[in-house]
Amino acid sequence: MNLQLRTKNMISAAMAVGFAIAQPPPQQPPPPQQGQPVDPGARVGAAAAGGALPGVTTGEMTMFRAGKDAFSEMEQVSNGLGPRFNLDSCGGCHAQPSTGGSSPSVNPQIAAATRAGALNKVPSFLSQNGPVRVVRFRQTPTHQADGGVHALFVVTGRNDVPAACKIAQEDFSNTANLTFRIPTPVYGGGLLESIPDSTILANLAANSAVKQQMGIGGKVNRNGNDGTITRFGWKAQNKSLMLFSGEAYNVEMGVTNEIFQNERDEDAACAANGSPEDHTNYDKLDPSDVVKFTAFMRFLAPPATGPVTASVTNGKNVFGQLGCALCHTPSLNTGKSSSASLSNQPVPLYSDLALHTMGANLNDQVSQGNAAGSDFRTAPLWGLGQRIFFLHDGRSSNLVDAILQHAGQGSEASIVIQRYNALPLSQKQDLIHFLRSL
């Protein structure tokens, strides 16, 4: 797209992503339960995330910046938006506490529903102060397994679509058939990519006696074709940042690209552009957005931690003693990388990148690769301190609740949560302070 238009769109995208500053949730958190600690909410102040890794080369920094611009850009139909979409920019969903993060406090999907004259109805499960949500259907109308993402909005009515385009919004009224996912942050994406499969497997096999005592197993998810470990997404269903970029561009925004060439809905009247809509500019040797998004996420630094008080230090010990760290591995190392900034680095992710069975309470009835309905990737906890919404469907905005939700019929975390419940209140509070320091 031309530079002038790009700048204009970036400014509006920056406005739409809600001023990238950590904000406490506007709604009052639930009153503390008897015997439970208080979650003080998202750490306020400047965002502790969003910059590039230390030690990137000049070229890597140039691509990081170009990638950040592309990631923040608000797309129009002429750039490929639609015909179906969930939002019009990557940075709108990945916004808190800065570009690349998770769901912001004000849901940008509400404004996007009617932007540029679009006529979409906002489904009942989206709200101004609720999380960004992407929706999957559990079953098809004929009761076969579905599990796929159903885009919430259409471009019909926008002032930039062909007049004949009348594609209709899907019906989301059967809420019992829906399951939600909120955005996972993409900070430290390149570090996650650079952890060797052998490191993940060795970590999963470590401490086997104590894991067994606690009822903790775990397994990796794998790519069907080359057999290597997949690690991105709530179910570790996706292989790489580039693949996720191509998929998200098509699924979330309706922008066809060099990895996913075909519109998910090939409505002829709405087909405004040739495919792939995002592509390498061969005449200018200018890489595609998918390549740029990848560079932004690859060189994006992990979130910085907050102040370490005595309570935080104690909470970190509690986290280890309870057994949280048996799944939420504090640190794994990258292997040898072709980028020095990613090579042989510690990655303080607080995850084993493996799948665990989380029981009936968290089961979303969606299978992806090795992950069955109740299996989820141990959520990386880095950056938790400035997050607003938690768990795959964003059901919690309170860390105490997020911990308690781990327990459920058949959950591998049940014993650890029993141990948490048996703690004196002051130790529980220290644990929450530790989590808010991440």
Q: Which residues form the interface with ligand HEC (CB under 6 A)? A: 86-87, 90, 92-94, 132, 134, 181-184, 186, 189, 216, 232-234, 241, 244-245, 248-249, 252-253, 293, 297, 322-324, 326-328, 356, 358, 362, 376, 378-379, 381, 384, 390-392, 399, 402-403, 406, 412-413, 416, 420, 431, 435
Task: Round to whole Å and give the CA distance between 252 and 152.
Answer: 9
Task: Round to whole Å and give the CA distance between 400 and 405.
Answer: 9
- Between 113 and 403, whose beta carbon lies closer to ligand HEC? 403
CB of 294 to ligand HEC, least distance (A): 8
Asked whether 399 and 435 are in contact (CB, 8 A), the reply is yes
CB of 220 to ligand HEC, least distance (A): 13
Task: Round to whole Å and give the CA distance between 89 and 234.
Answer: 20
CB of 163 to ligand HEC, least distance (A): 27
For 265, residues 6+ apart whose C-beta sits below 8 A from its C-beta are: 83, 84, 167
Task: Round to whole Å and give the CA distance between 136 and 178.
Answer: 6
- Between 166 and 290, whose beta carbon lies closer to ligand HEC? 290
CB of 193 to ligand HEC, least distance (A): 9
- Between 269 and 314, whose beta carbon lies closer to ligand HEC? 314
CB of 164 to ligand HEC, least distance (A): 26
How many Cβ atoms sit within 10 Å of the Cβ of residue 418?
A: 12
- Between 66 and 268, whose beta carbon lies closer to ligand HEC? 66
For 332, residues 6+ apart whose C-beta sits below 8 A from its C-beta are: 195, 199, 200, 203, 346, 347, 349, 352, 353
Asked whether 45 and 68 are in contact (CB, 8 A), the reply is no
- 196: its two tokens: 């060797």
- Between 108 and 267, whose beta carbon lies closer to ligand HEC? 108
- Between 113 and 216, whose beta carbon lies closer to ligand HEC? 216
Task: Round to whole Å and give the CA distance between 154 and 118.
Answer: 8
CB of 297 to ligand HEC, least distance (A): 6
